[in-house]
Amino acid sequence: MPINTSPDAPDFDLSGPTPVFVLVRPQMGENIGGAARAMWNFGLDRMRIVDPRDGWPSQKAIAMASGAGRLLDEAGMFDTVPDALADCDYVFATTARMRDITKPVMSPERAMEHARAIIANGGKVGVMFGPERAGLENEDVIHANALITVPINPQFPSLNLAQCVLLTAYEWRRQTADIVPEVVEMAGTDWAGHIEVEKMGDHYEETLEKAGFFYPEAKAASMKLNLRNLWSRMPMTKMDVQMMHGMMRQMKRWKERG
């Protein structure tokens, strides 16, 4: 049976520990709200904020967060980066640029894979995101164990704060959920069984034979083979097969009407 992976499916596990996302000196309330939405879109809800430029609480953040406002209510407020990271066992810093410090640089994918492993072993993981305009300073980055750099177009590296949070949260979700890469929505039907497709093939072959379709005689055998191959190649549902039968029956009625 096909597995349901639609948004309505219960395979999105929101229990269990997740990384803490730490917004360092964010400037605009709207972006804090946008970051909260991006986190919650992928089931992350632990936000910390270091020294927001426009103070706290922020009405603009609340307005922007809408359905993710709980993250702002529960967000931890800190004066400094070390305070915000004190209980973390492993810390990532997201940076867009080269840094003149020696540090591992990971893709978002590898970083969240690593985060999953640390958290599975009982560790706490923090991910720092810098202020909108300038990003994290070296003084912030030295507190991180590793960097995350998004593989972005060097001609247009313009990710904003919420987008960077979104991609990181998406990768966390990818690394920790059992995402089924491909299913087929069955819309209330099921695949046709082999015998059903065979019988449909018989129906078509018999009727087309009467209609004089397999002509000239010398080509009839290969035409029949090609037709059978066409049916078996098509991923048909029981409903499709019924419809195919109905079409052919109707063509016969039409002919019989004269």
Report the interface residues with a copy of itself, using CB under 8 A: 5-10, 12, 14, 37-38, 40-43, 66-68, 96-107, 109-110, 147, 149-159, 163, 166-167, 170, 173-174, 177, 179-189, 237, 239-240
Question: Nearest distance from residue 64's CB to a copy of itself, in Å?
Answer: 11
Question: Nearest distance from residue 189's CB to a copy of itself, in Å?
Answer: 6
Q: Which is nearer to a copy of itself, 41 or 242 (CB)?
A: 41
Task: Report the residue count for the chain.
Answer: 258
Q: Which is nearer to a copy of itself, 10 or 16 (CB)?
A: 10
Question: Nearest distance from residue 185's CB to a copy of itself, in Å?
Answer: 5
Question: Nearest distance from residue 6's CB to a copy of itself, in Å?
Answer: 4
Neighbours of 229 (CB within 10 A): 11
Q: Which is nearer to a copy of itself, 43 or 76 (CB)?
A: 43
Q: Name residue 201's amino acid.
A: G
Question: Nearest distance from residue 180's CB to a copy of itself, in Å?
Answer: 7
Q: Which is nearer to a copy of itself, 1 or 14 (CB)?
A: 14
CA distance 213 to 198: 19
DSSP assigned state of 67:
G
CA distance 209 to 215: 9
Strands of the sheet containing 20-24, edge to edge, are 76-78, 47-50, 20-24, 125-129, 90-94, 146-148
Q: Is the CA virtual torsion 211, 216, 219, 220 positive or negative?
A: positive
Q: Which is nearer to a copy of itself, 191 or 213 (CB)?
A: 191
| HEC readout, 127-152 | EEECCCCCCCCHHHHCCCCEEECCCC
CA angle 136, 141, 146 (to 5 degrees): 120
Question: Nearest distance from residue 225's CB to a copy of itself, in Å?
Answer: 26
Q: Which is nearer to a copy of itself, 69 or 76 (CB)?
A: 69
